[in-house]
Amino acid sequence: VQLGESGGGLVQAGGSLRLSCAASGGTFSTYAMGWFRQAPGKEREFVAAISWTGGRTYYRDSVKGRFTISRDNAKNTVYLQMNTLKPEDTAVYYCAADSFGSGRDYGAAYEYWGQGTQVTVSS
C-alpha cells in the first residue's frame, strides 16, 4: 500500500486546513487509517484514527472538537479536517494504514506510512 498526503501549509492561528491521504496498491476499504504528527524535537504522536467502515473514530484529547477524521472508500482517501488551529499543532502530519485493527492509537500498529505533509500554524 502506498500512501500520499497533501493539504499541508502555513495558516494563522484560528484557521483551518484539510489534509488528504490517497492510498493505492491495496484494498483501502479493509484498512483502519490513522493520522499521526511529529513536531521538531518531539516524538511522533497519535492524532486520530478511523475504522475501516468509518463507523468509529478516535482522537487525542487535545484535538477533540477541533479535528475531524473521515474517509471515502470509493476514492481510497482519508481526510483530516483541522479547525481552530493552534501553534502547538505545528508538525509534520503522517497518515498510516493498519490492516488488523479498527483504529489504534499507537504507531507500531500501522504497517504502511506516507511521507508526511508539513503543517505550520503561526501565532
Confidence of residue 19 (pLDDT cuts 50, 70, 90): very high
Asked if residue 102 has pLDDT above 90, the reply is no
CA distance 3 to 95: 7
pLDDT at 100 over 90: no
- CA nearest to 15, candidates 94, 118, 89, 70: 89
The mean per-residue pLDDT over the stretch 91-96 comes to: 98
Residue 118 above 90 pLDDT? yes
Mean pLDDT score, 5-26: 97
Q: What is the CA radius of gyration of the chain?
A: 13
- In the structure, what pLDDT confidence band is assigned to residue 105 with cuts at 50, 70 and 90? very high
Average pLDDT score over residue span 40-53: 96
Q: What backbone torsions phi and psi does residue 101 show, to the nearest 5 degrees?
A: -105, -170
